[in-house]
Structures are given as structure tokens and as C-alpha cells.
Amino acid sequence: MYYNKALFTEYGVEVPTTLAEMESVMGTFVEAGVTPLGVAGAEYPAGQLFYELALSQADRDFVTAYQTYTDDVDFQADPLRYGAETFDAWVEAGYVAADAASLKAEDMGVAFINGTTPMIVSGSWWYGRFVSEITGFDWGIFNFPGNTLNAGSSGNLWVVPENSDDKELAYDFIDITMRPEIQALLGNNGGLPLAADPADVTDEKSQELITAFNEVLENGGLAFYPDWPVPGYYDVLVSAFQSLINQSKSPDEVLSEIGAAYDDGVAAIE
């Protein structure tokens, strides 16, 4: 969660630690005529918001079943039903703008950079850009309030191909990049190094990001991304949650749509 500290101060709200507090904060903004949550329906952000809401009611067994097909996934039951119904309720409450269905991630990010959007839910890939482009106000981050599980992954993994001509050189390279001083160097230059000690990262903003990510890791909270399970699922989720934002479909209809595509994809894989 990225948030505009200046707007939080102006409207007298504090960083939420639970989903109920999050809704209270958003309600305060709505009462003042401000749409609190930037969302982009034409790309990934809307689907990721849905997934975060679903994960607030989920456990590791659900994530394993959803992502790796160890068990059937019931799209008409919680936590996915909770995610869709809560998303729909947030749209109806004005927490999400009705015209967000046509917005792209860039539109959402620029609105935050310009200081017009109090909060957005998105990934660490925005961090370096926000550091360099936001100059008119202070901003910060917090993990999705109340969640143990969160959308995300450990990022790029170093591997040495079996047919590599010089495995020892590759091993040396991996050892170099994983050294504490190199991890700190990456962290102080806008990266999110997996093995960095936050105490070695002197850049305040970078330290904030790494600390938040380490909190998720310590809780075993990486739950991957909602579109990962089956091929083509990204487009299915984008279309479905555009329909919720513009209120052209009900949560039941959306759950049926994304459930059918998921089941078809799993059947094709198996």
C-alpha cells in the first residue's frame, strides 16, 4: 500500500492496521469528496486488489490449491467470494472511482505521483520511480492491513543451466551478488535485494521497502499472483474486474466467469 502522508494528515487519518480501519480511513476520504483508492481496471491492479481482499480470508492451503492444483478451488465460496463481494462493496461505497475500469496502471501511478490519489495497492516496481519523481509531498508504504498472505514472489532467481560451459564462473557470480555488501549496494540504489540486512541500507526509503518485504517473508506470506495459475488468465481477470468496477456484472457472475476459465485451464494442464 502506497499512501500520501500529506493527504492523510490533511484529512486526519492514520495508517490502518486492520481491514476495518482501512475501510474507516477510506470512508473519511469519501465523506470529504475524495476517492481514496487509485485502481486501474484495464490492467493488473484491479485483479491484485481482489486477490489481496481474498487473501485476507485465506490460508496457505488455499494458496497451494489455487496455485498448484493440489485440491479443487470453489470460486463460489470464501475466500474468493469474499474478495469479489468486498471489491464490489468498495466500488458501491465510492472507495474506487467508477471510471477506473478504463484506466491503465500508468494512469494510476501518475495520479499518485501528482498527489491526487491518497492510496494505491501495487508492487515494489513503482518504488524507484516514486522516489525519483515525487517531489511535492511525503509518502510512505504499509503492508496490506491485517493480511498475513500477500500477492508477490521472491523475484528473479539465479540458476546455472545444466549445459553451461563454465559453471564455476556462474557460481562465482552468484556468490558475489549475494555478498552482504553487494546486497546493500543493490538496496541503496532502489532494488529489493532478498538477502539484504535493513541495517546496512542507509537510504531511508529503500530501508522502508526492504523492511516491509522482510516482514512478509518472516510471516511466510508470499502468495504469488492471481493470474499465475493458468495460461491466459491475466486477460480473464482484467475483463472480469472491469465489469465489477463499472457494475455491469454482479459478484456471482464475475466469480462464475473467472472460475470457469480457471477450471478449463487446469483441465488443459492436467
How do strand 2-4 and strand 139-141 relate by DSSP bridges? antiparallel
Confidence band, pLDDT 50/70/90 cuts, at residue 64: very high
Q: DSSP letter string over 170-201?
A: HHHHHHHHTSHHHHHHHHTTT---TT--GGG-
Q: Are 145 and 19 in contact (CB under 8 A)?
A: yes
pLDDT in tens, 76-129: 999 999 999 999 999 999 999 989 999 999 999 999 999 999 999 999 999 889
Pairing mode, strands 139-141 and 119-120: unpaired
Place of cell 558475489: 176
Least confident of 49-63, 160-174, 195-209: 195-209
Whole-prediction pTM value?
0.91
Q: Which residues pair with 120 in a beta bridge?
A: 2, 38
Q: Shortest CA distance to 211 belongs to which of 230, 196, 226, 231?
A: 196
State whether residue 128 is helix, strand or coil. Answer: helix
**pLDDT tier for residue 201 given thresholds of 50, 70 and 90:** confident
For the chain, which domains are there? 2-152+223-269 (3.40.190.10), 167-205 (no CATH)
Mean pLDDT across 183-192: 84
Helix pair angle (45-55, 80-92), 10° resolution:
120
Asked if residue 209 lies in contact with residue 147, where contact means CB atoms within 8 angstroms, the answer is no
